[in-house]
Structures are given as C-alpha cells and as structure tokens.
Amino acid sequence: MKAIHVDSITKEFDGVTAVDDLSFAVERGELFGLLGPNGAGKSTLINMLVTLLPPSSGTASVNGHDIRSERGAVRSSIGIVFQEPALDEELTGAENLAFHSRLYGQNRAERAERIDEVLALVGLSAERDDPVGTYSGGMKRRLEIARGLLHEPAVLFLDEPTVGLDVRTRRDTWEYIQRLNEEAGVSIVLTTHYIEEADHLCDRVAIVDDGDIVAMDSPSALKASLGGDVVALEFVSDDDPTALFDQLEGQSWSREYTASDDGVRVTVDDVDARIADLVRLADDTGIRISSVDLREPTLENVFLELTDRSAAGSDRNGAAGDQTVMASGDQTGTALESGDDRSSAVSTEDQP
Amino acid sequence: MKLVDPQAIYGLWLRDTKRFLRSPSRIVGSLAMPLLFLVFMGFGFQGAAIPGLPEDVDYLQYLVPGIVGFTMLFGASFAGLSILADQDVGFLKEILVAPVSRTSIVLGRIAGGSTTALVQALLILGLSIPLGFAPVSLLSLPIAAIFLVLLAITFVGFGIALASQFSDSEGFGLIVQFVIFPLFFLSGALYPLEGLPSSVRYLAYANPLTYGVDGLRGVLVGTSSFSVWLDLGALVVSSAAMVAIGAALFQRVEAV
C-alpha cells in the first residue's frame, strides 16, 4: 500500500483549473516534495488530499483511504502543518496540543505521554505553559509540527513549513523534519517554493507548474537531466575564443560552449577531472585567463528550465508571463555581469 | 467519525471557557451594554406610565428579565464572531481537518458559547440585585436557570447558523447589529407587547426571545403574558431547531 496514491485529480474554481489531471504516488516512508512557484496549485492539491476541498474530478487515497468516501479515516491518519499558522494564541502550547489530542480521540494517559514526547522532540518542553501568543515565529512552527505528530499520523503534510523563518530556524526545522522521517518512519509530503529546501530534504521532488507536474524524480536525477557542469572562463583582455572553440570541438568531454561578454562558458562532463584540461587548452591557444568559475547544476536550474518551458508553452498572463520574458532575456546570454546568472548558464538548445 | 463525539465536544467547550476566563476585558465589555440599558432605562422610566405594565410591578422589576435576555443576544453574536475569528486566523482549519463530525463541532461550540453567555446573564442578574431587583423567591432561581440555558442554546445556535453564511467577520459584525436590535425591541424586553400594533405583535410571537423574557419574568417577578409552560415549550422547540439549523448550515462551511 502506498502512502498516497493520486488518480487523475482535478480541481477547478469557477472555470479556472488550479490542479489539472494529476496522477502520482508517494511511497511509504518517503519524503516527497512538491516544488513550484506561488499559485502553481500546490496548496490546492494538499487541501484536497487532507479532505478540506473536494476534487472536481478524479480522486486520491491517503494511507489506503479514499479522500472522497472515507474522509474520517483519511483525517485520522494524517497530520498537517498549514501554510498559515493555525494555533490558538490565547492558549498555552500544551493546551493547544491537548485540544488537538481530544479532537483526535486520545485518552488521558496517551494524551499526557504524547504531549510530553512531542514537546521534547521539538524542544519546547520549557515553554509548554506559556501562551502561544508569546512564542516566536520559529517556536510556533515547531509547535505546529509537534501538533501534526501528536496523534502519530501515517502521513504528515507540511505546507510551506519554513516560510517566514530565519536561516537558523529554517535549518533547525529541516533537521526536525529529517529526523521525523528517519526515526519515526512517517511519510512526509512537503510543499515549498524554496528550491534548496526541496534539494536538501526530499527523496523525490515533483515540480508543479500551472496545475501540472512537469517533472518528478530525485533531486540528483533532476540535476543530472540538465547534463554536465558549467565552467565559465573569464579572459584578461578581448581575446578571441574561436581558437579555443576549435580545440573543444575535438574533445569528447566538451558538450557545449558559448561566448560570453568577457570569456566563454563551457559545459563539460566530469568537471573535476576536466577543468585542468580545459584551462590547458585555453593556455595552448594563447588565451590569458583571469578567472575560472565552476557551476554545478542546481535544482534551481532545473526548476527555471522546466517552469519557463511550460510558461512559454501555454498562453498565460500576469506574473508567469513576466517570468517568461525575464528568463528568455537571460537565455540570450548577453548579460552575465552578476553572479546570479545560473539560469543562463544552461543552454536550452539541446536538452535531452 | 461518530456523529456525537463527547470528548471532542468537551475539548471545544474547554477551549471556549478558557479563552473567556482569560480575557477580563471580554467579560467586562460584554456586560457594559446590558448594564447601561439596565441602569439608564431602569431609573429613567421609573414611575413612567407604560401602557400594559401591570400596576403592582415596578419598571425595574419588569426590565431585569428583559435585559438578561438581551445579554443572550450578545452571546449569539459573540459565538458567531468567534467562529469567524477562527477562520481569520486559520484555526478553523485545524478543527475542520480533525476526524470529528461537523455536528459534534457545532455542539461543542454551542456548549462553549452557551456557557459564556450563561455566565454573562447570571452576572447581570447578580448585579441587578444591588440596584433594587428582588426575585419573588430564591426557589425561582433554579427554574430561571433552565430558561437561561434554553435561551443560550437558542441564540448561540442562531449565531453559529448566521456566521456559517459569512466568510469574514466584518460583514458579520455589521449585519448582526441589524439582527440583534430588532430581536431585542420585538421581544417584550423593554415594554409589554400588548401596546404594539397587531401586525408587529405577530412578529414578536415568532421571536424566541419573547418567550424567554416572558418565562423569566413569570418565574422571577411573578407576572407573565403567557403561561410559563408555554414559554418553556416554545424555548425547547426553538433551541432544538437552532441546534439542528446550526449543524445543517455548518456542514457547508469550508475552511479554505
């Protein structure tokens, strides 16, 4: 039995399709990420899976229970941390947990034991009797994660769990999430628009854009799909790269090369071994190199690549349209002055 | 999911009660308006010739059951607002996603809202005694409590039913003013209904508060327009109906 099995689920709001005919499965014990821009349909998908929204068509099962016909069983087997905090700030941390425990039908002994356990897990034992209104943003998140785990769910949904948290708290939250997944064996579905979060945490990532899954694989496989690492060479003066290009043509490890403002960018296989060869070739042709910059493909490249492509493919307006314009502007490869040119570091011409 | 889940209902009740007890400003605020009505109208109209008022009954005696009923209307709006406030801060999702039937959720909220409304009503009743209010006998107080419980359930159920039709607390807050005051004025809380034109009087007969106020008056002051048993029966019906309507309408509430 899969943790989650989604079967051509669709959700429309007044003619706007938020989630478009999705089908996928999440394995038991898996840490599964839904990565996508704002408004991609991630939260709508989650809300359907947790029975807060009925699908327009299609269905899904969570922990073996159908989200349409067995809502009670689905609700008993899931824990949720919502995108927006959903705590009663006038109650204390422990009281929020006790409230939750009563709704989930735990008896008194179970309740006391589990509350102590989850509070210790997220490091809030000392603050258990403080009103939640006095908690910091990170503490509230941790309390919500504790609450999501209180009734020992089979599947835990985390909707943007680290939005609005500072870097340290985000790292700590990641640690909790990983520990939960490893130690408690909880299957976790996490939505995020932070790419490094998906890369760092998830066993498998589905990239969602415009209500559709445009790619689904492990982060490393997704990165590998972009093909090769990129080395940017900056030249001392306006040296002509043509000679270097001639040399590169004959090399098996060189996949692709383009001229940039003040140098070249070369996509190579096995960059650690070949970077020296590349520099030597440039040297042989008399080019003087002022800097070498190595960029390994990131999930962000994959993300931009895939979400751009689908944005360009469909006729959309608004923010998504702007994104298309920006990205295609980058891809002409004219502006490389800033360090933040990773989207342009990947040529889109001959992707596998 | 059991239709009626006692532990979940208790949890919801406990939360409402704790929240109420922890905010003294809420308690004082909820008492201020009825108390102002009681003091200014009670003394202002003292000795005035109000048509239909029994001759041997002082106006303050007549007014106190009406004002106690009035606090129940505040209980209604308060219960509705607390549901919408939960929606505003996202807490409603936490409740709606739990394996608890909507009926149990409504029952829990009615239990919590009724308790706070009941406490407010009893405080008003207690405060009216130093102002000169004298119940006919101490034995009447437990019977009055039954009326108060039924009134609380009726109007908290009403508040929840009404709130389920709104998605924001601002709209609800505006509308509820237009609902509360007609219910108040058309209940015989301030003056006997006999003085009203007959068409308006029939509207008052459809108002559960009419029977609540009349019943309280019958029990506490010893004068009533209807028999106390009729009042009691009407309130039992209205409270059952409001629980059912609240539960039915709440089924459709969506958290997102």
Put simply, whether A105 touches B (Cβ < 8 Å) is yes
- Six token digits for residue B77: 């709006």
The CA distance from B186 to B181, in Å, is 8
Q: How far is CA A29 from CA A45, A64, A154, A161, A175, in A?
A: 20, 14, 9, 19, 16
User: What span, in angstroms and rounded, lies between the C-alpha atoms of A60 and A65?
Assistant: 8
In whole angstroms, what is the distance from residue B19 CA to residue B26 CA? 9
Backbone angles phi, psi at A104, to 5 degrees: -95, 10
CA atoms lying within 13 Å on the CB side of residue B97: 29
| Amino acid sitting at position A149 | L
ipTM: 0.89
Query: Can you tell me whether residue A18 is helix, strand or coil?
Result: strand
**Is the CB of B254 less than 8 angstroms away from the CB of A82?**
no
Are A36 and A193 a contacting pair, CB within 8 Å?
yes
For residues A191 and A34, the answer to whether their CB atoms sit within 8 Å is yes
CB A275 within 8 A of CB A176: no
Strand A263-268 versus strand A289-295 pairing type: unpaired
The larger pLDDT score, comparing residue A295 to residue B211, is at B211
- In A147-304 the beta strands, taken as DSSP E runs, fall at 155-159, 187-192, 204-209, 212-217, 229-235, 254-260, 263-268, 289-295
> For residue A188, what are the β-bridge partners?
A31, A156
**A110 interface with B at CB cutoff 8 Å:** no
Task: Categorize the per-residue pLDDT at A308 as very low, low, confident or very high, splitting at 50, 70 and 90.
Answer: low
* Cα–Cα dist A7/A60, whole Å: 5
**Shortest CA gap A198–chain B (Å):** 25
Answer yes or no: do B98 and A103 touch at CB < 8 A. yes
Contact status of B100 with chain A (Cβ, < 8 Å): yes
Distance from C-alpha of B166 to C-alpha of B161, rounded to nearest angstrom: 10
Look at residues A52, A158, A142 and name the one whose alpha carbon lies nearest to residue A97.
Answer: A142
Per-residue pLDDT at A325 exceeds 70:
no
- Can you tell me the distance from the alpha carbon of A253 to that of A314, in angstroms, rounded to the nearest whole number? 35
Length of chain A: 352
Instruction: Answer whether residue A318 shows pLDDT above 50.
Output: no
Mean pLDDT value across chain A? 81
Buried b (16+ CB within 10 A) or exposed e, A25-57: ebeeebbbbbbbbebbbbbbbbbbbbbbbebee
Provide the 3-class DSSP secondary structure of residue A295.
strand
Tokens representing A277 are: 């060869």
% helix / strand / coil in chain A, to the nearest 5? 40, 25, 35
Which residues are CB-contacts of A41 (< 8 A; sequence separation ≥ 6)? A11, A18, A19, A20, A208, A210, A211, A212
For residues B159 and B256, give the distance between their C-alpha atoms in angstroms, rounded to a whole number. Answer: 21
Q: Does B252 touch chain A (CB under 8 A)?
A: no
Judged by CB atoms closer than 8 Å, whether chains meet at B254 and A53 is answered as yes
Which of the 8 DSSP states describes residue B45? T
* CATH numbers and ranges of domains, chain A: 4-222 (3.40.50.300), 228-295 (3.30.70.260)
Chain A interface, mutation test: which of B5, B21, B105, B256, most A Cβ atoms within 10 Å?
A: B256
Q: Which of B1, B96, B99 sits opposite A52 (nearest CB)?
A: B96
Which has more confidence, A99 or A142? Answer: A99
pLDDT values of chain B reduced to their tens digit, one per residue, 256 residues? 788 999 999 999 999 999 999 888 888 888 888 999 999 988 888 877 777 788 778 888 899 999 999 988 887 788 888 888 888 888 999 999 999 999 999 999 999 999 999 999 999 999 998 988 888 888 888 999 999 999 999 999 999 999 988 888 888 888 888 888 899 999 988 888 888 888 888 899 999 999 999 999 999 998 888 899 999 999 999 999 999 999 999 888 776 6
> Closest by alpha carbon to A190, among A200, A182, A198?
A198
Cβ pair B64, B220 in contact under 8 A: yes
Cross-strand partners of A208: A213
A215 - beta bridge partners? A207
Beta strands A289-295 and A57-62, pairing class: unpaired
Residues of B in contact with A100 (CB under 8 A): 94, 98
C-alpha dihedral sign at B65, B71, B77, B78? negative
Is A72–B99 a contact, with Cβ atoms under 8 angstroms apart? yes
Range with top average pLDDT, A172-181, A217-226, B197-206: B197-206
Q: Which of B11, B255, B256 sits opposite A102 (nearest CB)?
A: B11
Residue A30 Ramachandran class (φ > 0 left, ψ -120 to 50 alpha, else beta): beta
State the DSSP H helix or E strand holding residue A62, giving kind and residue range, or none if neither. strand A57-62
The backbone torsions φ and ψ at residue A35, rounded to the nearest 5 degrees and listed phi first, read -110, 135
Q: Is B251 helix (H, G, I), strand (E, B) or coil?
A: coil
**How many angstroms away from the CA of A104 is the closest CA of chain B?**
6
Give dist(CA A241, CA A259) in Å, integer: 7
Is pLDDT above 90 for A88?
yes
Chain A residues whose beta carbon lies within 8 Å of the beta carbon of residue B20: none
Contacts of A111 in chain B (CB under 8 A): none
Q: Hey, are the CB atoms on B15 and A88 less than 8 Å from each other?
A: yes
Q: How many CB atoms lie within 10 A of CB A82?
A: 26
Summarize pLDDT for A64-77 with one digit per residue, the tens.
999 999 999 999 99
* pLDDT above 50 for A331: no
Of the candidates A31, A62, A45, the one whose C-alpha atom is nearest the C-alpha of residue A198 is: A31
Quick one: residue B54, left, alpha or beta (phi over 0 = left, psi -120 to 50 = alpha)? beta
The pairing of beta strand A229-235 with beta strand A289-295 = antiparallel
Q: Does B2 contact chain A (CB < 8 Å)?
A: no
> Residue A347 above 70 pLDDT?
no
Provide the 10 A C-beta neighbour count for residue B223.
17
Question: Do A86 and B7 count as a contact with CB atoms less than 8 A apart?
Answer: no
Give the A:B interface size as CB pairs under 8 Å: 74
Domain borders along chain B are 6-250
